[in-house]
Amino acid sequence: MVKARARFQARVAKSALISGITGQDGSYLAELLLSKGYTVFGLVRRLSVPNLGNLRPIAERVTLIDGDLMDQSSLNAAVQKAAPDEVYNLAAQSFVGTSFVQPVLTGEITGLGVLRILEAVRAHAPHARVYQASSSEMFGHVDREPQDEMTPFHPRSPYGVAKVYGYWACINYREAHGLFVANGILFNHESERRGFEFVTRKISHGVAMIHVGRAKTISLGNLEAKRDWGYAPEYVDMMWRMLQQDIPGDFVGATGEAHSVEEFAAAAFEVAGIEDWKKHVVVDEKNFRPAEVYNLRGNPAKAKRALGWEPRTKFHDLVRIMVEADIAGLQAGTIPVRPVS
């Protein structure tokens, strides 16, 4: 264990390029890599209003490079500029619900975007190690439980289909071109930086809105869906560990426990001290998906064995972290008052 830690530390003073640095995982990963002494570059796309809130604590310490997963030349230029030892491809159209409404865009960014990253690395930094943000959504309609690295894929959304494409593109570049590419097949991980449309944040923010008297109900969809929810800062550590291995591989990251949306909601209202929670939840057809993933639960045994990685935050602690952060943020005016339906 001590030997392993020394080996990790001996390999610092590297540079990393993170796509998706403005998102939940990208911002936590940037903080982790800075703490290890990395020079951190982040790819950011042009938006009409900049979206750098998650980077506020480290704004002065990262170098942002303009680029878009839709645009090969910008990725080539970004890789050339960063000359990275490690590339973390976290950018994606990451919301499953939107992928049903914008399937082609999702395929372009979340699927083909991976290929564009791989092409940029192959041409301009072939020795760089690449992490690909693959997903448990690839398992989709599962026929066994828990899911591990050998479980077949049956994606249920354009997002899941695009992630399967990206996953296999990575393996192909490993086999065909000898690139060091590793897929993290991560189950849901959440935090106080989670996007507002994902169900956990929709609930934690909605409960906080009710708690401070700015809303009366939350509109949800399938309360029976089950997910394996972990805490995001712990999952970015797994990404880093995967790129410190001698041989690239694919790993499931999960807690091994599944809970339903209903359980999450009940726990969140309890944290806020709101009784009779069912009175505050409206089930609305518009929040259901054309094809649902009913039940995901991962087996992280390989990651534990080979990477020494293990999630620590338990389900009820995760709910508490998110609800308390949203209540505090609304009270301080640092989190927006938003519609909750």
3-state secondary structure of 34: helix
Q: How far lies 33's CA from each of 16, 42, 120, 136, 331, in Å?
A: 8, 12, 22, 24, 32
Of 98 and 217, nearer to ligand NAP (C-beta) is 98
Choose the catalytic residue: 131, 159, 165, 167.
Answer: 159
The interface with ligand NAP within residues 241-270 (CB under 6 A) comprises none
Binder of ligand NAP out of 17, 117, 186, 303 (CB under 6 A):
186
Which partner from the list ligand GDD, ligand NAP, none does 287 bind, CB cut-off 5 to 8 Å by kind? ligand GDD
We find the least distance from the C-beta atom of residue 137 to ligand GDD, in angstroms, to be: 4
Which partner from the list ligand NAP, ligand GDD, none does 39 bind, CB cut-off 5 to 8 Å by kind? none
- For 149, the token pair is 């690295």
The interface with ligand NAP within residues 33-92 (CB under 6 A) comprises 43, 45, 47, 51, 68-70, 90-92
Helix, strand and coil content of the chain, in percent to the nearest 5, comes to: 45, 15, 40
Q: Could you give the CA distance from residue 69 to residue 171 in angstroms, rounded to a whole number?
A: 19
Phi-psi region of 30 (alpha: psi -120 to 50; beta: other; left: phi over 0): alpha
Which partner from the list ligand NAP, ligand GDD, none does 289 bind, CB cut-off 5 to 8 Å by kind? ligand GDD
We find the least distance from the C-beta atom of residue 275 to ligand GDD, in angstroms, to be: 22
We find the least distance from the C-beta atom of residue 339 to ligand NAP, in angstroms, to be: 19
Q: Which residue has the tokens 């290929």?
A: 115
Angle at 296 between CA 295 and CA 298, to 5 degrees: 150
Of 67 and 160, nearer to ligand GDD (C-beta) is 160
We find the least distance from the C-beta atom of residue 222 to ligand GDD, in angstroms, to be: 5
How far out from the chain centre does Cα 142 lie?
Answer: 21
137 an active-site residue? yes
We find the least distance from the C-beta atom of residue 133 to ligand GDD, in angstroms, to be: 8
Q: Phi and psi at residue 203, in whole multiples of 5°? A: -70, -50
The interface with ligand NAP within residues 191-230 (CB under 6 A) comprises 195
Q: Could you give the CA distance from residue 156 to residue 57 in angstroms, rounded to a whole number?
A: 37
235 an active-site residue? no
Which partner from the list ligand NAP, ligand GDD, none does 86 bind, CB cut-off 5 to 8 Å by kind? none
Neighbours of 308 (CB within 10 A): 13
159 an active-site residue? yes
Which partner from the list ligand NAP, ligand GDD, none does 90 bind, CB cut-off 5 to 8 Å by kind? ligand NAP
Which partner from the list ligand NAP, ligand GDD, none does 68 bind, CB cut-off 5 to 8 Å by kind? ligand NAP
Q: Which residue has the tokens 């990393």?
A: 16
Q: Could you give the CA distance from residue 226 to residue 13 in angstroms, rounded to a whole number?
A: 41
* Residues binding ligand GDD (CB under 6 A): 94, 96-97, 135-137, 187-188, 197-200, 202, 220-222, 225, 227, 261, 287, 289, 292-293, 296
Q: Which of 13, 14, 21, 90 is nearest to 57 (CA)?
A: 21
Of 41 and 269, nearer to ligand GDD (C-beta) is 269
Contacts (Cβ under 8 Å, ≥6 apart) of 211: 272, 273, 274, 327, 330
Angle at 259 between CA 258 and CA 260, to 5 degrees: 130
Choose the catalytic residue: 94, 135, 157, 191.
Answer: 135
We find the least distance from the C-beta atom of residue 262 to ligand GDD, in angstroms, to be: 9
Q: Could you give the CA distance from residue 266 to residue 258 in angstroms, rounded to a whole number?
A: 15
Residues with catalytic roles? 135, 137, 159
Q: Which residues bind ligand NAP (CB under 6 A)?
A: 19-20, 22-26, 43, 45, 47, 51, 68-70, 90-94, 109, 133, 135, 186, 188-189, 195
